[in-house]
């Protein structure tokens, strides 16, 4: 009776039930929200060593009718589990491509790139390549201005399949970046095998760069390795001049973080970066 009681207690754990209910409400809301045009893209500048904008990372937000602006970490994992990441990811890709086409029309913005985050589940989907082709075709965006940010979690899956897909997209002009580098479990040998253009040093290593010798060593080593493999490196989460200086001194050439600009709606980002004439 005691054992059964324990199981019963676990099954009816009110906290867990409330969490499950909250999740299914959020999932239903997200499904509706996708149809109701509630998603927004914010753009965060990526700059060079002189602070000049090279492009931007598109970061999704959800304008919920009652909850307000929901950050991606509150709904992307849910979207991944429920499969909603596919329509969501497709929407992000289309928006970003439409923005590239707008940028292509003006001299001040023609050279800029856009990076989007592609989750492992989205990338692995059998329809992914066709979806990318469809969006590139209908928007007319220049694929050479588009970068896909992938995470190391992708490497748990069929690497041959992933290499094949990356090859097809590369042939189309799309570039690849390995996001959150150093936080996952990837072996360094993947760095050689994957056709990457770029590594992004995770902000968790940049944060205490000036005070934690281990973080400093990781960042220096990553920069050395990436540069010798011919990869471009973006340092994420750069918030201070001190971090910026350290990174520059160790060979980093691309930077992203609050020091240069927070993620903003496109018009505000363009204004802040002096891209409007």
Residues that bind ligand C2E (CB under 6 A): 44, 59-60, 71-73, 76, 92, 116-117, 119, 179-180, 203, 237-239, 256-258, 263
Give least dist CB 76 to Ca ion, A.
10
Q: How far is CA 272 from the centre of its chain?
A: 21
Q: Say how far apart CA 179 and CA 47 lie, in whole Å.
A: 17
> Which CB atom, from 117 or from 186, has the smaller least distance to ligand C2E?
117
152 sits near Ca ion (criterion: CB under 5 A): no
What does the alpha-carbon distance between residue 60 and residue 89 come to, in Å, rounded to a whole number? 9
- Distance, in Å, from the CA atom of 139 to the CA atom of 90, rounded to the nearest integer, reads 13
Closer residue to ligand C2E, CB minimum distance, 88 or 136:
88
Question: Which partner in Ca ion, ligand C2E, none is near 252 (CB below 5 to 8 A by kind)?
Answer: none
CB closer to ligand C2E out of 116 and 174:
116
Determine the Cα–Cα distance for residues 216 and 231; give it in Å rounded to an integer: 19
Q: For Ca ion, which residue of 103, 179, 182, 252 counts as binding (CB under 5 A)?
A: 179
**And the tokens for 235?**
């340092």
| Separation of CA 247 from chain center | 21
Q: Which does 90 bind (CB under 5 to 8 A by kind): ligand C2E, Ca ion, none?
A: none
Chain center to CA of 182: 15
What are the residues facing 114 on neighbouring strands? 56, 146
Residue 29 as a binder of Ca ion (CB under 5 A): the answer is no
**Measured from the CB of residue 107, what is the shortest distance to ligand C2E in angstroms?**
28
How would you classify the pairing of strands 232-235 and 198-201?
Answer: parallel
- Residue 180 within binding range of Ca ion, rule CB under 5 A: yes
What spatial distance separates the first Cα and last Cα of the chain, rounded to whole Å?
Answer: 76
Map residues 97-136 to x or -, x wherever contact with Ca ion holds by CB under 5 A.
Answer: --------------------x-------------------
Which residues in this chain contact Ca ion in the complex, by CB under 5 A? 117, 149, 179-180
């Amino acid at each position: 009776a005691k054992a059964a009681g324990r199981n019963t207690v676990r099954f009816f754990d009110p906290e867990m039930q409330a969490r499950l209910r909250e999740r299914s409400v959020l999932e239903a809301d997200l499904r509706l929200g996708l149809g109701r045009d509630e998603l927004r893209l914010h753009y965060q500048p990526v700059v060079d060593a002189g602070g000049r904008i090279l492009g931007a990372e598109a970061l999704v937000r959800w304008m919920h009718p009652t909850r307000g602006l929901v950050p991606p970490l509150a709904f992307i994992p849910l979207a991944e589990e429920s499969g909603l990441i596919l329509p969501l990811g497709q929407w992000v890709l289309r928006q970003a491509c439409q923005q590239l086409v707008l940028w292509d029309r003006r001299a001040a913005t023609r050279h800029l790139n856009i990076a989007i985050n592609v989750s492992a589940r989205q990338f692995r989907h059998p329809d992914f390549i066709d979806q990318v082709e469809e969006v590139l075709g209908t928007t007319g965006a220049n694929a050479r201005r588009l970068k896909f940010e992938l995470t190391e979690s992708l490497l748990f899956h069929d690497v041959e399949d992933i290499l094949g897909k990356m090859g097809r997209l590369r042939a189309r002009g799309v570039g690849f970046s390995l996001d959150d580098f150093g936080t996952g479990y990837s072996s360094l040998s993947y760095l050689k095998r994957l056709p990457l253009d770029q590594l992004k040093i995770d902000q968790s290593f940049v944060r205490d760069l000036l005070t934690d010798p281990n973080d400093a060593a990781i960042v220096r080593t990553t920069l050395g390795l990436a540069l010798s493999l011919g990869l471009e490196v973006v340092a994420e989460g750069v918030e201070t001049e001190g971090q910026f200086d350290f990174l520059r001194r160790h060979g980093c050439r691309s930077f992203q973080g609050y020091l240069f600009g927070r993620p903003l709606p496109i018009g505000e980002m363009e204004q802040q970066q002096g891209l409007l004439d």
